[in-house]
Amino acid sequence: CLILVAAWALSSTVKALGAADYLTQILTGAVSVAWFPTIVFGAGMLISFTTGTSWGTMGILMPLVIPVALGLASSGDAVAGAKDWSLVPPVVAAVFSGAVFGDHCSPLSDTTIVSSMACDLEPTRHVVTQLPYALTAAAIAVVVGFIPSGFGLPGIVCLALGAIIIILLPRIVPPAAPAAD
């Protein structure tokens, strides 16, 4: 509860300071709009991995990146004041995905600690066992999800491509043999 309250307080502060408008001004022209979902995904992964909280990451990033996505997507709009919402779904997905990735893999996360205790492992050992799977899923999400959706490919196509790759991947790359302890 305290993490959520702190995240809400931080997001209110960010909003009051106009951080989203400032970031939009800085990023317009400096970063291609198409790469913004991938950048947000990376930021979410980093924040949640280093803090161990997916909820805190979502509370920090959502109020910041949605206005930036709207500002970046609408910056080249011919109609003054018109909002282009096409970038919002991939950016929201990037926040959720990045937050869950970090929370799943962070040695500071409560879920990692409880899972490692249930498996009778040290938390760092559990992280090492989870990273190859999480990094594989993250790479697939970036390559067939966030990059293509940033360039305008419909989300349903990205989801279908990702599902096909995940289904075929074990047939192409066999799982590694378990390490002997």
Q: List, for residues 32-80, the tens digit of each pLDDT value.
A: 788 889 999 999 999 889 888 888 888 888 888 888 888 777 665 444 5
Chain centre distance of CA 32: 18
Distance CA 160, CA 150 (A): 16
Tokens at residue 145, please?
Answer: 């999800």
Name the pLDDT band for 178 (thresholds 50, 70, 90): low
| pLDDT for 138 | 95
CA atoms of 3 and 5, how far apart (whole Å) = 5
Burial 27-37 (b: 16+ CB within 10 A, else e): beeeeebbebb
pLDDT above 90 for 15: no
Residues 6+ apart with CB under 8 A from 42: 98
Q: Are 72 and 128 in contact (CB under 8 A)?
A: no
The pLDDT tens digits for 79-91 are: 455 566 788 899 9
Q: Which two tokens stand for residue 79?
A: 């109609």
Pick the closest to residue 33 from 98, 99, 91 (CA basis).
91
Helix (H) or strand (E) holding 61: helix 54-74
Q: What is the pLDDT of residue 63?
A: 82
pLDDT given at position 3 = 60
Burial 162-172 (b: 16+ CB within 10 A, else e): beeeeeeeeee
Q: Which of 150 and 71 is assigned the larger pLDDT?
A: 150
Pick from 59-73, 102-116, 157-171 the range whose average pLDDT is largest.
Answer: 157-171
pLDDT at residue 127, as a whole number: 87
> Which tokens hold the place of 106?
């962070």
pTM attached to this predicted model: 0.79
